[in-house]
Structure 1
């Protein structure tokens, strides 16, 4: 009879080494995924309906308004917006309140959004807000 051990090593590997920790700055977690998708929608790189299944409540209407041609990342030609930093706060189980700092040339804009985890364990954006310089 063989005993089974619970290990995290791949089958056939017998040494004790572990994979290195991911380098600082590697983006992970649902808040980073949403920040990147929200920025793509708000800057016109992706259509608003690409987030239709990833939003709940009034968040979709907020996105439609923010992604309009008069939105914060549209207007006269300038460098493409870049996600500089993304952070999160867990006010309770199944909720992430996140922020992102977005650089557009020498301008900084702040984006805040709330993610809620549904019964199907999928994260959905429940609110989004953008503040900072306007064109």
Structure 2
């Protein structure tokens, strides 16, 4: 047995499958799905992790060498020219780059690009209530890898001892 529709505004005609402008979807308790349309920006700006930026990567590695947390030879394939010898002279033999205290950290690092493939970078290193400076030059090789070409720490650029 078939019952006729009841209630105000009900008819026996079937509705079309398209929705009208006044038709509303039922409320859902599920969170919206992830955005799949890549043509427009999403909810926020995607930031590169600090380690993906060459100047920060080198600043962190150079600081680890200068504080004795990493051996100097860990930078051998990441340096060119005099930079490795500069690191050997600056790295702690007896006297660490920073005095004992809180763990030193790279607080900020910025760069200046004098020409394509060359970056002159500087970093502010904090250790306790003191701030130190680290400056270095990066050069991009023919293999498109960045390498450190010069290092200076707290204005100390130790010259090679003349024999």
Matched residue, 1:122:
145
User: Rg larger in 1 or in 2?
Assistant: 2
Deviation at 1:26, TM superposition (A): 5.1
Matched residue, 2:67:
43
User: Which of 64, 82, 104 is matched with 2:127 structurally?
Assistant: 104
Unpaired runs of at least 5, structure 2 = 1-35, 156-163
More relative contact order in 1 or in 2 (CA 8 Å, sep 6+)? 1
Secondary structure in structure 1 of the residue aligned to 2:73 = helix
Deviation at 1:22, TM superposition (A): 3.7
Deviation at 1:46, TM superposition (A): 1.1
Deviation at 1:72, TM superposition (A): 1.7
1:90-117 CA-partner distances (Å, limit 9, x unpaired):
0001000000000110111000000001
Unpaired runs of at least 5, structure 1 = 1-12
Runs of 4+ that moved beyond 4 A: none
Matched residue, 2:76:
52
Normalising to structure 2: TM-score of the pair? Answer: 0.65
**Structure 1 position 70 matched with structure 2 position 95:** yes
RMSD between superposed Cα atoms in Å: 2.4
Deviation at 1:124, TM superposition (A): 0.3
